[in-house]
């Protein structure tokens, strides 16, 4: 299934199997610009995921900033996340180890 929005991607992550995120703890802030953009906070703790929409609701451990269309393209496998980062399409600040776990959550 192809994703069409950032919200849809993050809702999919929030419903992920607890075993897949066991041992992953932290707060991720997604700041997506452009059409379909907004801010969402994803909190991972002890195999649970909590998604809070529209705004920074906790102090993030890592922040992802990008155009909404680029995040959708990454989630759909149309844009390589590493290439997007190297090209400056994705900006990451904070805990890089936690940031690297995002790819496994999307796949």
CA dist list (Å): 44 to 23, 72, 84, 93, 104: 9, 21, 24, 17, 14
d(Cα 63, Cα 81) in Å, to the nearest integer?
A: 15
d(Cα 102, Cα 107) in Å, to the nearest integer?
A: 9
d(Cα 99, Cα 44) in Å, to the nearest integer?
A: 12
CATH code of 6-106, in short, is 3.30.1050.10
Structural domain boundaries in the chain = 6-106
Query: pTM of the full predicted structure?
Result: 0.88
**Beta strands 26-33 and 62-67: pairing type?**
parallel
pLDDT of 48: 87
pLDDT of 5: 94
pLDDT in tens, the chain (107 residues): 689 999 999 888 888 877 877 888 999 999 999 999 999 999 989 888 888 887 666 689 999 999 999 999 999 999 999 999 999 999 999 999 999 887 777 66
């Amino acid at each position: 299934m192809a994703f069409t929005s950032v919200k849809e991607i993050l809702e999919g992550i929030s419903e992920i199997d607890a075993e897949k995120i066991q041992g992953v703890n932290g707060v991720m802030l997604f700041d997506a610009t452009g059409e379909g953009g907004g801010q969402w906070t994803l909190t991972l703790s002890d195999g649970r995921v909590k998604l809070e929409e529209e705004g920074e609701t906790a102090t993030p451990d890592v922040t992802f900033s990008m155009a909404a269309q680029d995040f959708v393209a990454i989630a759909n496998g149309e844009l390589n996340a590493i290439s997007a980062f190297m090209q400056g399409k994705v900006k990451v600040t904070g805990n890089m180890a936690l940031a690297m776990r995002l790819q496994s959550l999307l796949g």
